[in-house]
Structure 1
């Protein structure tokens, strides 16, 4: 009694394609052929194929299965390593599920970290939202906590609102006045939040380049000019919320 390729694939609960692939990578030995050229599989092939299928279903890769060979029916060390990996995956999935549940229950936006969504209790400008989305990826955990505080209504000043409302055709006097007020407000903000000058410190080059790129796309020419003026007045590297780019 011998089985064809299709028959042994059906018995093992796998596909013809998988059986052929196992032959190609050397996991499953080639069987003898009948006089008509068709392969004929025996019990040893079926048992080997069942073992491969079982290990694949458990999560082993084909390279790992090849390393195990056929001699060890109970590869304890490999199974323990797999168990540890599965435990880590389960923990991560539980964390993700908890995050998704929070997003569903609180209707949080998907582009902002939860702490940023908490801080932005009221409407925020499109520019602030874009910055927050990028900063959520760019900043370390402790820096995100600080940035979230900068997004809170308590950290905003009238000059921030005026900056958001500044039109591209704002005149020279309006730009200079706003730059001076923002520079003064930034001094106060740095006193309240001493760490804002070190945001992005772990990779300051990437942080600076990213802030410049986002700024160039979300701010109009008058706003960028105000930021340059503010830097000239105070030598500041970042504005209150979001961070000040270096556009000089």
Structure 2
């Protein structure tokens, strides 16, 4: 008599759902059924489950294991190279995560942004709306360009004009909008000139530029009122962004 699905799962240190998933993916042959309809797994099935488990622990994707006849691959060396490269990337990400956790222990800051950007945004006293917009921009434009965004925020100096912008009423008059835009524009222009985005960053962003632009526009429509959006447009025109 063989093992039941539950028994073979327990012996292999996995779950019923996992064993069933292996069947669904064609990784594990279906065992014979007993007269009462229950499955009867044999040693070959247990060995196969143990093999799949070992390969997954090594980092092999299930889709790759499915192409390995009897657990072997005609292109084993290439497969190992791919898996090893993926593991190296994962290890690097985990190292970076641990570094950020250590920084958060030393200096707790909001986790809406990567640590270095969040710390700079906190020092810059960004409003909730500005932080939220920065979170979207720094991710969809180029999530790896942390130093650029950090540098911008480190040199940003909030003042009465930015405070007035944060509390600007939706129906603010033309004169007020223009006055705020004219006061904020010089600092924005200076920041952009001092910290231009690198050509590599611009090229990287170009591939998904439309989707990124759409995401930023949607975020701004959610975060700012009509008068504030109008001030943004005026600042962009003054700084040559549009």
TM-score normalised according to structure 1 size? 0.66
Q: Tell me, what secondary structure is at the counterpart of 1:28?
A: coil
Matched, 1:217 2:222: yes
* Structure 1 unpaired stretches of 5+: 238-245
Structure 2 distance, partners of 1:116, 1:14, is 41
8 Å Cα contact 1:180-1:230 kept in structure 2: yes
Give the RMSD, CA atoms, in angstroms: 4.2
Find the structure with the greater CA-based Rg: 1
**Residue from 131, 147, 150 that aligns with 1:148:** 150
Going from structure 1 to structure 2, the CA distance change for 1:83 and 1:222 (only over 3 Å counts) comes to closer
**Residue from 226, 232, 236 that aligns with 2:231:** 226
Structure 2 distance, partners of 1:56, 1:143, is 33
Q: Partner residue of 1:105?
A: 106
TM-score normalised according to structure 2 size? 0.68
Going from structure 1 to structure 2, the CA distance change for 1:160 and 1:68 (only over 3 Å counts) comes to same
Structure 2 distance, partners of 1:36, 1:165, is 74
Matched, 1:27 2:28: yes
Going from structure 1 to structure 2, the CA distance change for 1:231 and 1:60 (only over 3 Å counts) comes to closer
For residues 19-58 of structure 1, what are the structure 2 equivalents within 5 Å?
25=26, 27-28=28-29, 30-31=31-32, 43-58=43-58
Going from structure 1 to structure 2, the CA distance change for 1:23 and 1:149 (only over 3 Å counts) comes to closer
Q: Partner residue of 1:69?
A: 69
Shift of 1:128: 1.7
Structure 1 distance, partners of 2:6, 2:213, is 62
